Structure 1
Amino acid sequence: MFIDPIADTYRDSCQLVGLCDSSATRRRWHQNRLCSEYGIDSVPDYGVEDFDRMLGETKPDTVIVCVPDYLHHEFIVHSLEFGADVICEKPLTTDADKFAVIDDAVRRTGRSVRTTFNYRWAPGATQVRQLIASGAIGSVKHVDFEYMLNTAHGADYFRRWHSYKELSGGLFVHKSTHHFDLINWWIDSIPETVFAMGSLAFYGRDNAIARGQEPLTRYPRYTGIKESEGDPFRMNLEGDPTLNGLYREAESDSGYIRDENVFRADIDIEDSLSATIRYRSGVIASYSLNAYCPAEGFRVSISGDEGRIEYYERHAAHIITGDRDIKFETNSSRGASLKLQRLFEDSQNIPINMPEGGHGGADPLIQEQMFSPHPPPESLGRNAGHQQGAASLLVGAAGNRSITTGQPVKMMDLFPLSPKATRLSELI
């Protein structure tokens, strides 16, 4: 997503001036790959404790933050105060208090923070936005959004740090921020109130035992454990050179176990989530996420006072390894369908171009915006700053609070995000 386009496609206009990671092993892995694949002999690298020294010595124009979610705000603020702009992986951060720290730093320094919502750049999502903006269904009134993670990709969130809510904000924040942002962007509005429910219904020790699968709970991790062989949820880090180099070989200096058992006892995030969202424009949205489906993808229906859009994507399962995706279900079909039906008219099937590239062809487009010295003009509002990043993460944060309290949560009670604004496009 970041290193490869800088080192390859945009190497004439961008330079990778520093790498920072808590693991020296991972830093060496990246150095070796930069040398072998791109002929880049050496990039200054630093431990996480030397982040400020890296800023001073390398003097970057832009810092890319892709640490665990709960630490985003710390590295963003240090970078802004140094005088650099920031590109940050979604979610921007995990809760309202951390966002307040980021917002204050942006105001104090005058620097910018880009939130990388690559889903906005996917061809199908873009066509949905264009249809709505054209007035094809009139004024939007209601959205239904269902997201399905399967037992390859979905399970992967329960093997690693994402399975602890303190670190990731749970799937409502870490994963659903993509989907909340799509809704926000499609209808060009700002969320107002959230009511949510959620549960850990499939993963975790108690659920496995309740299904009669207690043997799957007997080992803390998968790699190197003979007893785990044959477990359909097993991940073998040593079986893939990227996973082995980034994680297995780095365990001694990082302490990070990448392949924890998905049926262990200490998981505290939900795998089944639903939310109802009211927007400042009056639109009502219903949302659900399920992380243990047999297939992966999403369905969305958008109803207006003149018609309806129905959009569906099926995804090949994958896991995120760092710079590349590892694909599972190599024989599964990716695909999408888009239908428009105006009131009192027959439905229309609208063709979708599905190009190559990460996230359904979205990644090359957003990379061009981030790294090209002359990015093409952008008329659809797909570039997102820190406020638009907050508009989605705060839905997840409000959802988490609603699950805990059993009550609807007003977004303004979490953070006063541009109180006079109605449209997402009014936010940075």
Structure 2
Amino acid sequence: MRKRYVLIGTGGRAEFFYGAMARDYRDTCELVAFCDINQIRMDYANQLLEEKYDHPRIPTYKSDLFEEMIQNEKADIVIVMTMDRTHHKYIIKALELGCDVITEKPMTVDAEKTQQIIDAIKRTGNKVRVTFNYRYAPHNTKIREIIRDGVIGEVFSVNFEWALDTQHGADYFRRWHRNKNNSGGLLVHKSTHHFDLVNFWLNTQPDTVYAAGGLRFYGRENAETRGVTQFYQRAHGIEYAKNDPFAISLEDNLHLKAMYLDAEKEDGYQRDQSVFGDGISIEDTLAVVVQYKNKAIMNYSLNAYLPWEGFIITFNGSKGRMEVQVREQSYINSGGKKSDEGKLEEKSIRILPMFGEPYEVEIVEGEGGHGGGDPLLLDDLFGTPKEDEFHRAASHVDGAISILTGIAGNLSLKTGQAVKVDDLVEF
């Protein structure tokens, strides 16, 4: 029997999920309703369903009718794609109404909301899954396999540098993510992927977290230093912004125009805010030290304004060392222009045994995003369940542990002190 799905939050990430159900999983999934604060955006999602996926339009509900939607449409599973700070609200209500939940990462943005979700799962007995697509990327799965099989022995330390370039990195400072209350900052919204990967790779959990950083590149306070000669709050209608490499033009992209610019009149959300404008409360330069429960330690850094995008990571173990470099093509979320010139996608895993010759590890990729990882995630979510030796499906516990590293980091940024993760929530 097909499961009945409803989706709340029809912004840039939503089509990845509803498009897959409409295109590839009609035998197992029935997409029955959209929910959002913005009717124009839901109407556009229905247009895409009809024109791109040959799927009939489905009923739409404003967010204040979320409960009514679940009851009317007899939903089995709710997919939560809203602004991060509202995830907990819809997750908890869906659980209480008898549904299971699939939520985009991060599961939520702070310890209090995390505890509320944990308590609701205990109370209702229903399930929450978090969509960590990075786990399914072949190079990330290969790293887990290498560590699991003891190739470099027991891992004692990890150095993890994540680079966001001036297309993708800047985009977090144009959107609602720039307000830390909305997103939890990059340590929660973005780094949850990376912290989850380390938990996944090392099969452990964070114990103590210390963080430092701040807003060093973007923001009004840094505009003059960056050579900005004219201040504006958003790009649309501003002549100066047409030549600003940090601006995005919504009217020049039909998808962004339909999803955001045309929908502004309903909810006031501006998708093209200036990265050097006022109101930015998140950091763009971050460093974190984590000690894990298995005694491994990690040095982690994130910078959101670099000339390339990807990560460099090294694992130091009792039998040798693993060096990984992944240079990714950059993008702007939800239909923005790619700029691939001079940005080749490269992936390498190099093993340096303690007493032996170094060698490269082959990475076998498939079709689809993230080296074929995205289709694997979608099949795991919406297809027929299969045995997975790597246990890539992420539960609410995985979702909580990943964000708690970032939440602890945010608390450390405020206090200047190291934070014990176990002090934040009770499972």
| CA displacement 1:318-359 (0-9 Å, x = unmatched) | 1111xx675332552112001111101111111112333223
Equivalent residue for 1:281? Answer: 294
SS in 2 for 1:268: coil
Matched, 1:363 2:374: yes
The answer as to 2:195 corresponding to 1:185 is no
> What does residue 353 of structure 2 align with?
342
Q: Give every structure 1 segment of 4 or more consecutive aligned residues whose post-TM-superposition deviation is greater than 6 Å.
A: none
The 8 Å contact of residues 196 and 402 in structure 1, kept in 2 or not, is answered as yes
1:49 Cα deviation after fit? 1.0
Aligned length: 412
Residue type at the aligned position of 1:404: K
- For 1:21, the equivalent position in structure 2 comes to 36
- Report the Cα offset of residue 224 of structure 1: 2.0
1:2-401 correspondence runs (5 A): 2-215=17-230, 218-321=231-334, 326-329=337-340, 332-372=343-383, 374-401=384-411
Q: Answer whether contact 2:101 2:128 (CA < 8 A) is retained.
A: yes
Bigger shift: residues 376-385 or 289-298: 376-385
What is the distance in 2 between the residues matched to 1:332 and 1:197? 30
The separation in 2 between residues aligned to 1:212 and 1:244, in whole angstroms, is 29
Q: Which residue of 1 aligns with 2:422?
A: 412
Structure-2 separation of matches of 1:358 and 1:242: 19
Question: SS in structure 2 opposite 1:16?
Answer: strand
- Counterparts of 1:91 and 1:282 in 2: how far apart (Å)? 25
Q: Is the 8 A contact 1:299 1:312 kept in 2?
A: yes
Identity across matched positions, percent: 44
Contact 1:141-1:284 at 8 Å conserved across structures = yes
CA distance in 2, matches of 1:354, 1:230: 38
Pairwise CA distance, 1:134? 0.5
Summarize deviations over 1:348-398 as a string: whole Å, max 9, x none: 1111123332233211001000001x2321111211111111111000000
Q: 1:210 is paired with a residue of what secondary structure?
A: coil
Partners of 2:132 and 2:56 lie apart in 1 by: 32
Flag structure 1 segments of 5+ consecutive residues without an equivalent: 418-428
Q: Deviations over 1:1-39 (max 9, x none)?
A: 201110001112211011001111101101111111222
User: What is the CA–CA distance in structure 2 between the aligned matches of 1:326 and 1:23, rounded to whole Å?
Assistant: 25
Q: Are the aligned partners of 2:135 and 2:392 in contact in 1 as well (CA < 8 Å)?
A: yes
Q: Is the 8 A contact 2:217 2:226 kept in 1?
A: no
Q: 2:166, 2:307 within 8 Å by CA — same for their partners in 1?
A: yes
Q: Rate the CA distance shift 1:326–1:210 in 2: closer, same or farther, 3 A.
A: closer
Contact 1:5 1:11 in 2 (8 A): no
Residues 107-132 of structure 1: CA distance to partner in whole angstroms, max 9, x if unpaired?
A: 01110000111100000000000000
Would the aligned equivalents of 1:316 and 1:330 in 2 still touch at CA under 8 Å?
A: no
For the residues of structure 2 that align with 1:5 and 1:23, how far apart are their CA atoms? 22
SS in 1 for 2:276: coil
Which amino acid is the alignment partner of residue 51 of structure 1? F
* Alpha carbons of structure 1 residues 325 and 386: separation in structure 2 relative to 1, 3 Å: farther
Instruction: Compute the displacement of 1:143 (Å).
Output: 0.7
Distance between the aligned counterparts of 1:81 and 1:34, measured in 2?
A: 29
Maintained 8 Å contact 2:256/2:336: no
Alpha-carbon distance in 1 for matches of 2:74, 2:338: 37
Going from structure 1 to structure 2, the CA distance change for 1:325 and 1:211 (only over 3 Å counts) comes to closer
Distance of 1:54 and 1:331 partners within structure 2: 48
TM-score by length of 2: 0.94
The one-letter code sitting in structure 2 at the alignment partner of 1:108 is R
1:91–1:174 Cα contact (<8 Å) kept: yes
TM-score under structure 1 normalisation?
0.94
Hey, what's the Cα distance between the residues in 2 that align with 1:57 and 1:211?
A: 53
Aligned counterparts of 2:379 and 2:226: Cα–Cα separation in 1: 48
CA distance in 2, matches of 1:101, 1:131: 36
Q: Is the Cα–Cα contact under 8 Å of residues 233 and 278 in structure 2 kept in the other structure?
A: no
- Which range moved further: 224-233 or 111-120? 224-233
| CA distances 1:139-162 after superposition (whole Å, capped 9, x unpaired) | 111111000000000000000110
Q: For the aligned residues, what is the CA RMSD?
A: 1.2
Q: For residues 264-309 of structure 1, what are the alpha-carbon distances to aligned partners after superposition, in whole Å with 9 as ceiling and x for unaligned?
A: 1221110000000000110001100000000000011011111111
SS at 1:193 equivalent: strand
Structure 2 gaps, min length 5 = 1-15
